[in-house]
Amino acid sequence: MLRELRRIAIAFFILSLPLAVRAQEAQQPEKIVFSGQLRERTEFDDRHINADELVFIHYLRTRLRATAKPATGFTVVAEVQDSRYLGQNDPTQARGTTDISADGLDMHQAWAQIERPFDLPIDLRIGRQEITFGNERVIGVSNWSNTGRTFDGARATLHATDLSVDLFGARLAASSAGPIAAQHLYGLWANWKPATTTSFDLFGLQDDNTTSIRRGEDSGKALLMRHSIGLTWKQTFGPIDMELEGIGQTGNTAPNDSAAQRSIKAFLGSAAVSVMLVPESKTKLNLLATTISGDGSAKDDKSETFNTVFGTNHKFYGIADYVPELAGDRGLVDFMGGASTSPSKELKLALEGHLLLPQRGPDSFGNEFNITAAWRAATPFELSGGVAVFLPGEILKARVGDSTRYWAYIAGLWEF
């Protein structure tokens, strides 16, 4: 029944688009604005995660975006992206120099939006689109990735004086266009700002994989049905900014289509405090503590490992990206302390250290120390870079060795 209601809602949304367009009375001349970006990032990688030797990697990402407003309150966006590493060519084509293939070329975004149809305080958007909420802990664009992240789906946003509510749904993966087993994401996200110093985010998400389990006691049930419910509270007390968040996950999951389901019981909790020390240079002291639950036992009927769903993990757990991916079922406890400053409006500096521990079990993943800088030389150009030093703990020594590991990057971003 729930599945049918979703299909009806999506169909109604799609069919209402042309009606809403015709309802826009005030017309304006068609106008198309082009914009884009080019980003090159070179990484010095001595992490020993995927290779046993030091490697240099050069990433290139190019985006070209066209934004059209054919009528008042109606917007269409098409954005093409090419993502590659330098030298990603067919070596048989004159050592790659005459290779004209473009395996990394894709439609990054392609969506249409209607603002305030029938004078209602809502926006309706459908198509391939970036979706990001709050601090990107569970849904973000993952901009650090050379491809970024987009969703194929529909979104409705309700606007009020101090409240915004988003209802969205996306089809994540499907082997064909028909009514087959697929993966989906549905969500409701509300942001309430009762005062300039106070903000609340309340959300509920469902991500699933409707592929059926083929054998055993759970035959015919879905491979994954996960629900994430969370609350984030941001508060400012003079020079102190505080952020508290908690997320719980429930549902059922199976490791493959021939295994029994396990019930999901997982959580994430985090507390962050930032203290402004020198307002003129925006010098701040930053503290953060995060707990991500791990699994107590792989042999029982409960899965207690928290899944960050579609979060932008790179910004939270150390820029070398050792965890949470390598944490596995141990979960994670991250204690971070650091400072940030802007000695000029063009320059930003940050220093932080992480103590990375398992939520389940003894020992340590390790300690990581990061320093990053970003220089906005001009409006269309930014030069940034960073260095990470990682001291492996007992848990990761078998994977990356016991020597101190280094990782660094330098990147240029050109926007037009």
pLDDT digits (tens, 9 = 90+) for 309-333: 999 999 999 999 999 888 889 999 9
CA distance 149 to 170: 13
CA distance 372 to 349: 6
pLDDT at 203: 98
pTM, entire model: 0.89
| Average pLDDT of the residues in 232-249 | 98
| Average pLDDT of the residues in 254-273 | 95
pLDDT at 409: 98
pLDDT digits (tens, 9 = 90+) for 264-298: 999 999 999 999 999 999 999 999 999 999 998 87
pLDDT at 103: 85
* pLDDT confidence tier of residue 39, bands split at 50, 70 and 90: very high
29, pLDDT greater than 60: no
Using DSSP bridges, classify how beta strands 182-195 and 198-212 pair: parallel, antiparallel or unpaired.
antiparallel
110, pLDDT greater than 70: yes
CA distance 154 to 14: 9
pLDDT at 116: 95
Cα 392 → chain centroid: 26
CA distance 202 to 194: 14
CA distance 95 to 407: 30
| Average pLDDT of the residues in 380-400 | 96
pLDDT digits (tens, 9 = 90+) for 173-220: 998 888 889 999 999 999 999 999 999 999 999 999 999 999 888 999
Tokens encoding 391 = 């001291």
59, pLDDT greater than 80: yes
Mean pLDDT of the chain: 92
